[in-house]
Amino acid sequence: MNDTKKFVLPALPYNPNDLSPTISSQTVDLHYGKHHQAYFNMLNTFAEGTKFMDMDLDEVVVKSFEEDNKKVFNNAGQAWNHILYWDQMKPGGSNAPSGKLLEKINESFGDYETFKTNFTQQAVGVFGSGWAWLIEKDGKLDLRGLPNAENPLAHGEHALMGIDVWEHAYYLDYKNVRPDYVKAVLDNLINWDFVADRLR
Ligand code: MN
């Protein structure tokens, strides 16, 4: 048992005001500084003194989901989900997908506009709190809408991108209008080069 280890919130890869106006610095301060930090704190609390402390975060997600350990999974899942969430965005985004990623989008969804429409519908279709995911499976791309902390990793699938549709992600900036938030993030913040680098 590793008694000194703690799961640590990674640094935000940009300044909290860099995503503005699509996501305000107020939202980032709360979402990263309070919510994301709290998932790490709770994970450390619930995993303390257990075998989970000897695993890396990916393993904790997979194992705790498999064992239906909800206290550990909910916090490990959210810790993992938000790392991808922050990493996949950059101020000003990176325009539209290109190269191999664009080819796969065209192959799997028809074209980029259809992909964005379908992704937004998937995000709107998540009832209550959860995430909309772009995944790669058997060489093709697909979408998943999953509740609460659930992610493709827990389901044995490979996530390329995930958009948080918990109200804390958008309520200050978009009130109840979830589709506007999702569209704005896709258009203005997603770093498609980062997403492309996750292709297997
Ligand atoms: Mn969140």
pLDDT tens string 104-159: 999 999 999 999 999 999 999 999 999 999 999 999 999 999 999 999 999 999 99
Q: For residue 10, is it within any domain?
A: no
Amino acid at 134: L
pLDDT over 80 (residue 193): yes
Read off the CATH number of the domain in which 151 is found.
3.55.40.20
Q: How far is the CA of 165 from the centre of ligand 1 (A)?
A: 7
Q: Cα(28) to centroid of ligand 1, in Å?
A: 10
Q: Which two tokens stand for residue 151?
A: 């992610």
Same domain, 59 and 129: no
If we measure between CA atoms, which residue out of 81, 85, 105 comes closest to residue 153?
Answer: 81
Q: State the distance from the centre of ligand 1 to the C-alpha of 9, rounded, in angstroms.
A: 14
Same domain, 37 and 127: no
- Does some domain include residue 4? no
* pLDDT > 90 in the chain, percent: 96
The reply to whether 158 and 70 lie within a common domain is no
**Does 189 share its domain with 110?**
yes
Position 84 confidence tier, pLDDT thresholds 50, 70, 90? very high
CA distance 178 to 123: 8
What's the CA-to-centroid distance between 162 and ligand 1, angstroms? Answer: 11
| Distance in angstroms (rounded) separating the CA atoms of residues 71 and 42 | 8
**Number of domains comprising the chain:** 2
Q: Is residue 159 part of a domain?
A: yes
Residues 167 and 118 in one domain: yes
Element (H, E) at 148: none
* 79: containing domain: 23-87
35 lies in some domain: yes
Q: Considering the domain boundaries, does residue 155 fall inside one?
A: yes
pTM: predicted TM-score of the whole model, two decimal places: 0.96
Of 64, 87, 110, the residue that ends a domain is 87
One domain for residues 62 and 129: no
What are φ and ψ of residue 192, in 5° steps?
-65, -25
Quick check: 28 and 19 in contact, CB under 8 A?
yes
Query: Do 104 and 193 share a domain, yes or no?
Result: yes
- The reply to whether 49 falls in a domain is yes
Query: What is the whole-number distance in angstroms between the Cα of residue 110 and the centre of ligand 1?
Result: 30
pLDDT at 25 exceeding the cut of 60: yes
